[in-house]
Structure 1
């Protein structure tokens, strides 16, 4: 401490020993309340207490917290928050004292560049806001003051010489208060004492980490980098990356893909539990500040996003791009919960983003962009080249969610189809059809599509997709003999290999029978259990089989009603339901079934083998065009 500082401190202490103005009685004038409990006699005990704290406490963060607590008690207010310079001409909260932490909201109100703080620093004296709801200095942040429950407040500068080392903000929670001259004098003089102490101490803007050496920080970063490298090597999930980064920084961490969907989140157990906000919300991303920040991140530049409480973004966030080749795969967002950001956070976030990018690129080493990664995932998924336990991690890495899906395969009547033509066809589907990922496999385009969840997931959606796709194909001659097969719903991604096989077999079946009167888009459900057989069978042999089983029914027009009964009975599985669908009496159905058995030898009632033969024969007749596809009646 310098001689001048010592003389000043002595002058204050001498003044305390001589005594000063006593305590003023409370006087209350609705709706304002006057707080006059502070005074010089109590300042002497505060000086003594502060001296004891300085001698005992070595941790700068604990020292600052003790200052805030003493400040609050000396000035007789409910709350006190002390802000410290952040190194970028801003002031960030360092400590607080009160019933509950209200500073996450207060950060948006006080930055060092706001009119209130600017006046405090310019005057180098306490500045009072009588009513935050009407005062022009904080009028632009009315929502923040309401969230913080701040009505009247006073800001007190803390200088060390000519350098501002902190600012104390004091208020009575939710109350309109008329601060007395005794309170303001006490606040000013105690701030001078705090400035003397802080001038001799290291500022607590990075808490305990501020006392670590550069070598120790480098070592910690190196260890974290090694741990992240191990996760990348064993193809860990993005959720594991987020958890490790969150634990290292003691901050909430989120990972977003190229479409800014949150694919992973990490929350350290001892971190401040406050909502971090959700950048995946389109309404949040539409805000000009957020939109600008995301544009910079997409261009490969890290961005600091300020708190935007109106959007639910209560915490400042550092968003770092995750590179993948020459493009940006997504972003790594770290939220400022607790202490202010420092260089350690910046460095660790950059290293972590590169390690996440390494994990993404090693998922398929020959693919660099997000689209290529997705296509590689689809190929491996459909060909069964992934272990079941690896599917969720690979899906998460390319921004896909598990759940019900359908597979669509687009081909032509020739040996190959143009993938570009197929993609153009899919682009004309209604916007409600959300195409997730595509891949060209064996000259055909395979598509992975999400389905809604439910007790019977996606069957109605599959039918709607079939109808929409058929409308697009039939509406234009540009698609030639394009045909598409759609699988039955798969309950999750692990079952999509079978779904791809079904969709591919549908196209193979349509291609093999090559009937121009067939629908251009068919689902696996419409072909049924004979799909695997018909996709590889010889058409001539299947014609012979169908004639042998159902020939007497479809060659004679007088038996048209019998063939319709075969189709409907096999579809409904019940005499009563069959009669209801055909609009006849149930005894009529029983008579027809007896007649069918006489003509074909197939006892459809009670003989599963006869039902299978009849079903397969009828399907062949529909595929060859000898029966109408939709109703199963003779042409």
Structure 2
């Protein structure tokens, strides 16, 4: 969890902190150094204007991590696959790097890094052939390590490290550490771009206009507040203070989200914005435009709030019978832009959190429980060892609703009070969700898992197309791969053996037979039921009675006395019915263990189909 040092710079609690540093492993020491280096970079975001100074600090820290004297960082161009040099450790190297480009036709090293999203080490940079040879010679590069800056599965930049004029000999551990560092820097890039965009917008605004000192103070205040983190409510309040008018931030459905100052009424503003003419005018309005509705009875100035090309709402100023000025329009545009930046940061923060949890979930079900996974889990406040199940959610049939891991995790979080659910897509198109079951007793865990899953599916599945297969509860994270495999077997049984009305099936419902049933399809199940129960699969009431007796017999651990009590019959009646089953099917249910297993499996198939009942007729088998 984040904590704040005395200097004010953010730090993180490391799992190693409780132990003597002398006992830390080489990997733990490296991870701690990476996190400390990243903290140093993150601390410069608000203090350094522009992207280049922050990335210059990042390059310098990378050099210190691997004891090299040169590191250069390139970022992808907005409309091409070419990467432009941005920063290096020293100002002199930065001047050189800014004239370089990566990813061009001859640069096969950069192309390999982008294609694989993995680091690439070139031992002989001059003779290898993948880097551009002339560049390697001019810069005296002998051995070079290239690392991608990957965020949301996209390569946004490249980092190159070398020792001028010498072979460095990068190890596998060093490569892993610098890759970890590069991933952290990549996650910072969206924030750097957003802060830089906001500063650019403010600078452009100041250059284009001759606003009053009041307007400039407001623009600076909003820029500083956005860099430090603010809320739409605070922005609306600042806009009201700067203009002396009431301000309203409404969402895409014109519902009030935040407001500042006095004036205006949410219902009247909603009615005005919902007029067909207003809707058409807003649709045609550029993202940086202002719609003047000051001549209306409830006069407004309206500026759209746009995030990544999508209109997310509007920012409005109330006329209050006073004429609107250019100062008011400038304040309104600046406030709308600031809110759009905050909404974008908020959305990307949620996405980053979601993707981090997806990575943890994927590592758990695949059994890749390295130090990085444990550290990520600690940062997200996720316990590694607890009572949980793996719930595999899939679509039974085609649907217009897209199956999304983030949405499913939110649905499970809405019905549980414990740590957040972890969800990740699987190769088969399903979503694996690891659900914390709290401190319930072991006998209650299976029922609680089914109850929570039913509630979550109800929230996430508007078209009733989702099905869920639940593993047996586990108590340790190293059991997660086994639970995932078990949930896949349960999902197979749910799809092959259960009727359309069954949406949830658990390993507890299948018992020992889950492994056996996962190996057969619907036809194989039909054949087994017919071969095993044969003459008992009729509509005759006496045959139903014998099947029911056999089912109760197994439910009571093959104890005749308990079975008779459950059926409210004499013990001799139970013996007679079991003997009759033996005569009709050849199944010796009291003495032959193979016959007992075959019969239990056939009865389970009937029960899964909802066909083992004294009221529902059994199917006819060929």
TM-score, with structure 1 as normaliser = 0.40
